[in-house]
Amino acid sequence: MKDQARVVVIGGGIAGCSALYHLTREGWSDVMLIERDELTSGTTWHSAAQVTNFGMNQTMIGLKSHSIALYKELRDDPDYPVGYNYADGGIRLANTPEQMDGYRHFTSVAAGMGVEFEVIDAAECARRHPLISADNLLGGLWDPHDGHIDPAQLCQALARRARLAGAEVNRHTPVTGLTQHADHTWTVHTVKGDVRAEIVVNAGGYRCNEIGAMMGVSHPVASMEHQYFLTEDIPAITEAGHRMPLLRCPISDYYCRQEKGGLLLGFYEQDCRTWGLDGIDPHFSNALCPDDLDRVTDVLEGAFARMPALMDTGIREVVNGPITYTIDGAPLVGPIPGKRNAFCIIGLRAGLGEGGGHGWLLAQQIVHGEAEYDTWVIDPRRFTDHTTVELTALKAIEDYQNEFRFHLPHEHRPAGRPMKTTPLTPLLAAEGAHFGTVNGWERVADIKPSPDFTETLGYRFNEVHDVVAGEVAAVQNGVGLTEVSGFNRFELTGSGVHDFLDRMICGRVTRKPGRVGLGYLLNHHGMLKAEATVANLPASDRGPDRVWYGSAAASEFHDMDWLSSHLDPGEDVAIRSLTNDQTILVLAGPGSRAVLSEVARGDWSRDAFPWLSVRETHIGIAPATVLGVSFSGELAYEIHV
């Protein structure tokens, strides 16, 4: 084993093998993979290994398209062909109009990425999959690219290609510790010796938090037990003369695909179980959890009703193994928050189907600083420090129970709520506020016109449309007040602050005390990285001259990483987060100046306090900072308290 490498990838499942292979494809050959046991000995080996092109946003569709193209190439490799059943086709069933509307939406999104889906009716579903009943069925979404792949062969093929390109793969080499040095490089300690690395990648699967602990971080990833069984041969399959399409059923929470002459049938039962939260047996490798088919009885009944042939079919094998979930269900692929030269590719609950694409985008980020796609949906910095093990477990259970039920517009699921609130949250609730969540913060979405008002969730205009129209009219013609909780707020101090911001932000940044500007931060490719409001606060009894940097609630860790990583050694700039210390009230509308003048001393006229001004004041007896900014198109003020 070498004692140094440019990149060390820890973990030899689909995530690690894909990352290693794609690093070599991006031109880096001095890379190493370290696996504690054998390749694919974690979750990968027992994966159902479905490979679909379906995704709920363009990034996920694009990376799955990359996976499919790569897997087809590996299938056709004459030197090491991988078993890949491509284009069996797959159907996602629906029994509600809202689900059908969703499938039409996702079909449109996919078309924008050059991927063709088809929305079909119930009769066509039954024609394409002759084992299913069309009872209680409206239709479904057809993915012509759906299929499945051999997990072990896939990972071995990726590792083989990486080795041919110069990478090193070390099996049966447990990592025992990680040490980061002052220059941000790492020493990876293993049972076979130390490796000095410029960059470390956590691809540890369900052991990702063991690796995270070695770095001093905790990832919002939890494992769930997941069961599937393999049936005996089914005559309707063996006699069909063609392969059966894959099936995913949000009605009864199961999926199936053809496995030889029978089916692989998997379940997302409501009575589900987390796994490994209090530690994982170090000897758990190529291992499974005990069978527990009693938990899936309800799901089985639904599967039997949808596929009557199952009632006459025997079970030849049961598999129950851990799969990983993140706090929002999407993987964590990219820079690790608060660390330099540290990346992760973890929480891949659909790892085989997506793993090729995730490794591709991660390698681009490591080598080039950015990926060719917008990776925010998988960026590990999209969460902040509210993502405890306990909350992650609750959200993992909720996601597992809704595996095939996509989020509808305006839907904010209840597990773990409320997580982050302000003193105003109960007051607004008493006024009828309906809350959504942003980075864990409860934030007002609209004000219910009556206590029993409910919204019909879906992809069409609903009851909330008129409610919001009334709120817009109030702001347009009078005045409105709401709280915008959780907005990111950094305080920058030091003699070098303005020079630093000039370097970070394209365009001119105002240096005038008491003035506010809007800035855009670009990466080295000239692409937009962040947007921020910059407010210059003069020295006062609340502090010295300082600058407030404000940005979106979800960007707190992302923007702190970006700013901190670009500070020069010795630069007199300090950055402190105030996000959890204050909240924001937005006062908007043509009557807002009159309201502000009634509650705060001083002259708030246009001449005394023009647009893009900032002033420290008191609202009643409460210290506050007021910014004259508007994102509603009307006269408005941000009141930070």
Task: Determine the Cα–Cα distance for residues 501 and 575; give it in Å rounded to an integer.
Answer: 12
Query: Could you tell me if 293 and 227 are in contact, meaning their C-beta atoms sit under 8 angstroms apart?
Result: yes
319-378: pLDDT as tens digits: 999 999 999 999 999 999 999 999 999 999 988 999 999 999 999 999 999 999 999 999
629-640: pLDDT as tens digits: 998 899 999 999
463-476: pLDDT as tens digits: 999 999 999 999 99
Query: Could you tell me if 51 and 185 are in contact, meaning their C-beta atoms sit under 8 angstroms apart?
Result: no
Give how far the C-alpha of residue 454 lies from the chain's centroid of Cα atoms, to the nearest Å: 28
- The pLDDT value recorded for residue 350 is 87
Reply yes or no on whether the pLDDT at 446 is more than 90. yes
Q: Do 362 and 497 belong to one domain?
A: no
Q: Do 373 and 493 belong to one domain?
A: no
- Looking at residue 130, which CATH number applies to its domain? 3.50.50.60
Share of the chain above pLDDT 70, in %: 100
Q: Do 635 and 504 belong to one domain?
A: yes
Secondary structure (H, E, C), 566-617: CCCCCCCCEEEECCCCCCEEEEECCCHHHHHHHHCCCCCCCCCCCCCEEEEE
Q: Give the confidence band of 602 by pLDDT, cuts at 50, 70, 90.
A: very high
Task: Give the chain's mean pLDDT.
Answer: 96
- The pLDDT value recorded for residue 238 is 95
**Final residue before a domain boundary, out of 377, 398, 423:** 377
In a domain, 440, yes or no: no
Tell me the residue range of the domain where 606 lies: 488-640
In a domain, 452, yes or no: no
Question: Please, what is the end-to-end C-alpha distance for the chain in angstroms?
Answer: 57
Q: How many domains does the chain have?
A: 2
Q: Do 361 and 508 belong to one domain?
A: no
Q: Give the confidence band of 393 by pLDDT, cuts at 50, 70, 90.
A: very high
DSSP conformation class of 245 = P
In a domain, 384, yes or no: no
Query: Could you tell me if 144 and 116 are in contact, meaning their C-beta atoms sit under 8 angstroms apart?
Result: yes
Q: Do 494 and 346 belong to one domain?
A: no
**Final residue before a domain boundary, out of 377, 402, 437:** 377
552-577: pLDDT as tens digits: 999 999 999 999 999 999 999 999 99
- The pLDDT value recorded for residue 351 is 85
Nearest to 342 by CA among 325, 362, 358: 362
pTM here is 0.96
Q: Do 54 and 183 belong to one domain?
A: yes
Query: Could you tell me if 364 and 372 are in contact, meaning their C-beta atoms sit under 8 angstroms apart?
Result: yes
Task: Determine the Cα–Cα distance for residues 342 and 340; give it in Å rounded to an integer.
Answer: 5
- The pLDDT value recorded for residue 631 is 87
Burial of 180 (0-12, 13-18, 19+ CB in 10 A): middle
Bridge partner residues of 20 (DSSP): none
Q: Do 366 and 501 belong to one domain?
A: no
Reply yes or no on whether the pLDDT at 462 is more than 90. yes
Q: Give the confidence band of 431 by pLDDT, cuts at 50, 70, 90.
A: very high
Share of the chain above pLDDT 90, in %: 98
**Final residue before a domain boundary, out of 377, 393, 428:** 377
In a domain, 447, yes or no: no
In a domain, 438, yes or no: no
- Looking at residue 555, which CATH number applies to its domain? 3.30.1360.120
Nearby residues of 245 by Cβ (< 8 Å), 6 or more positions away: 88, 89, 90, 91, 128, 129, 146
In a domain, 425, yes or no: no
In a domain, 478, yes or no: no
Buried b (16+ CB within 10 A) or exposed e, 118-137: ebbebebbbebbebbebeeb
In a domain, 625, yes or no: yes
Omega of the bond leading into 235 within 30 degrees of 0 (cis): no
